[in-house]
Chain A
Amino acid sequence: MELTGAEIVVRCLAEEGTEFVFGYPGGAVLNIYDEVFKQNKFKHVLVRHEQAAVHAADGYARATGRTGVALVTSGPGATNAVTGIATAYMDSIPLVVISGQVPTAAIGMDAFQEVDMVGITRPCVKHNFLVKDVRDLAETIKKAFYLASTGRPGPVVVDIPKDVTQHKTEFTYPKKVTMRSYNPVIKGHPGQIKRAVQMILDAKRPMLYTGGGVVLSNAAEELTQLTRQLGFPITSTLMGLGGYPASDPLFTGMLGMHGTYEANMAMQHCDVLIAIGARFDDRVIGNPEHFFQDGRRIIHIDIDPTSIAKRVKVDVPIVGNVKDVLAEMNKLIQVSKEKPDQAALKTWWTQIELWRSQDCMKYDRDSSLIKPQYVIEKLHQVTRGDAYVTSDVGQHQMWAAQYYKFDQPRRWINSGGLGTMGFGLPAAMGVQFAHPEAMVACVTGEGSIQMNIQELSTCKQFNLPLKIILLNNRYLGMVRQWQEFFYGNRYAESYMDALPDFAKLAESYGHVGMKIEKPEDVEGALKEAFDMKDRLVFMNFITDQKENVFPMIPAGKGLSEMILV
């Protein structure tokens, strides 16, 4: 039977097992929306801004590992989606974003709501398509899902002109798709894996450095097995948190610009560094020249060959899926008669414990003001470490990463690469749709939350019982911190004046609002909020204005050049 392009889009999404489409209608996608209306295979979630549609699809993808889907119209709908797409691209999140386009005959005519979506998104997608013929539509959508979810995942845009959604063709959905130009390597090279294992067994001062690749490839189990059977110290990037249980003694905390003293020092002074699904980016190792350490050998496992030897030279590169490579390594280590030098490892741990005894995460617990770190610690306690935590970008993001001890993967959801303020609330919506029964907390700042605050309306429409933890210091805190450290306390435009009454604002959207001003009220308020299982609670914590994120490595410095409290 012949179907219209619009019918085909909807059928393809159903074939892919799509549960939710996050979107916003408009002229170019009216035909598609008409078919969305007629079907019941997936639920459409109407957001209040296209950026939020993509972030919500992204949050859904991060929390589930499945491909998120967003649907936007042409022109401004498409451009509004770009920040969301770039956010997903930087963090390698599988998304399919369908955008409407003006009719093919109008393309290039500066038509109403026309924008070159394929051109605009080219640098921030894994791939994109403009579908000019309805006969190519089904296969293109199949390819989009295939590309988004395999290899190093990423967002794929499918731009569909309005007339293509009207044209008819015979519909068959391809069972599978092969592309001669796209064959991601999954299994690591056996020789390289052997070399790596030998290097690991010979290590005197080993260090495991893990990143978002562990979470993306669902390799937490393999990583935990590897780490525990070796007894090696392990650290994680911001993106990898939860890949290894943070409450485990082998875990040295997050590394990088705001990482722990022990993790950063161990990174710098180890003799064998095992990088797993991490990419040595500037917020992690700082300046590559300062990071360089004579005699330290590096093993680097990554599915994307371009991530290897990009910023740091490595001794044993292994291109492959982290999960598969770690499983191979575990097997080899299990059958090997050799064991790492236990005496050397013990000495190394003594050194690490010495660094750890610096207690770099300490803060003033007797303050009469609410300390943001304290709020996160209490959040962890009240939710028994079992919440999904999304965040925006800034100081609150770092505190959430440092003080909420993530023991499971896919629980910590934040924009690490692009650093997108406004991500937290819509991402939390996507998470709550994926896990309706779960506790979902959005840790945010008064700057970030206002970048997508309109989504409180979406939350009301769909009864999403999110808990918004606003750490309100009346400053763009991270900007203020840099201005304090590096710009002679000149707080240029970082003060947030004329803030709304957030509690009343939340109430006006039909939610519960709270304002918490004293440290002794923090725990009770959190308990009260999480007891309201069917309501969104917006918690406005008035925190210490001058609190800073420590430790800190100034930009351009090396890992051992930390500023401690």
Chain B
Amino acid sequence: MENEAGALSRVAGLFSARGYNIESLTVAPTEDATLSRMTIVTRGSDDVIEQITKQLNKLIDVVKVVDLSEAGHIERELMLVKVRAEGELREEMKRMSDIFRGRIVDVTDKTYTIELTGAGYKLDAFLEALDKDAILETVRSGASGIGRGDRMLKV
């Protein structure tokens, strides 16, 4: 979409006005500074997804819309999790982070902050695997997506 003030609110407004749900939404400028790229994760029947695609295309600021889930694609989300890391938990957290290929990016004598990247379900699985009481704080970026192979979204 055009990297214009207010473009994000047009998309967000469309979803709320027409009753579509947004599971996650990420947006940032691309290598071409006049363009932003947005990845939206939403849910709906085929008819609803078709309407969402059309309605997004109708927004004047939107240049191109692709349904990534129509074909092979890669989905990545970044999560930062602050966990309790005291006593026997300290070793346990390190091990869990390793198993999920996370990285510990901040350490105190009581906590670790673990950085984890992957598809949404992988991040969910990590949180599931942790002791609930050990999780102090989480922040997730929402998914970013890109087509596999030669499949490209370019203007």
A residues at B contact (CB < 8 Å): 118-119, 122-123, 126-127, 130, 147, 179-182, 304-306, 309-310
Contacts and interface: CB of A to CB of B under 8 A. Distances in A.
Contacts of A182: 60
Contacts of A304: 58
B50 interface: yes
A119 B6 CA distance: 9
B9 A147 contact: no
B13 A181 contact: no
Q: Which 3 residue pairs of A and B lie closest in terms of their CB atoms, listed nearest first?
A: A127-B60, A181-B63, A306-B54
B55 interface: yes
B50 A309 contact: yes
B54 A181 contact: no
Interface in B16-67: 17, 47, 50-51, 54-55, 57-58, 60-63
Secondary structure of the A side of the interface?
Answer: mixed
Contacts of B62: 181
Nearest to B16: A123
B60 A310 contact: no
A353 B54 CA distance: 40
Contacts of A119: 9
B47 A179 contact: no
Listed residue (A147, A179, A306) with the most chain B CB atoms within 10 angstroms of its CB: A306
Nearest to B47: A309
Given A118-B6, A122-B10, A181-B2, A306 B60 contact: no
Given A181-B1, A181-B2, A309-B47, A123 B17 contact: yes
Contacts of A179: 60
Nearest to A123: B17
A477 B5 CA distance: 46
Interface residues of B, number: 20
B54 A123 contact: no
Interface in B117-155: 155
25 contacts: A118-B6, A119-B9, A122-B6, A122-B9, A122-B13, A123-B13, A126-B60, A127-B60, A130-B6, A180-B63, A180-B155, A181-B1, A181-B2, A181-B60, A181-B61, A181-B62, A181-B63, A182-B60, A305-B57, A306-B51, A306-B54, A306-B55, A306-B58, A309-B51, A310-B51
Interface of B: 1-2, 5-6, 9-10, 13, 17, 47, 50-51, 54-55, 57-58, 60-63, 155
A181 B58 CA distance: 9
Nearest to A119: B9
A113 B2 CA distance: 30
Nearest to B155: A180
A305 B54 contact: yes
Contacts of A127: 60
Contacts of A310: 51
Given A130-B6, A180-B63, A181-B2, 4 more contacts: A118-B6, A122-B6, A306-B58, A309-B51
Contacts of B57: 305
Contact of B60 (A130, A147, A305): A147
Contacts of A180: 63, 155
Nearest to B55: A306
A135 B8 CA distance: 24
Nearest to A304: B58
Contacts of B58: 304-306
A182 B62 CA distance: 8
Contacts of A305: 54, 57-58
Nearest to B60: A127
Contacts of A130: 5-6
Nearest to B2: A181
Contacts of B13: 122-123
B14 to A, nearest CB: 8
A123 B54 CA distance: 16
A181 B47 CA distance: 24
Contacts of B60: 126-127, 147, 179, 181-182
B85 to A, nearest CB: 43
A229 B13 CA distance: 46
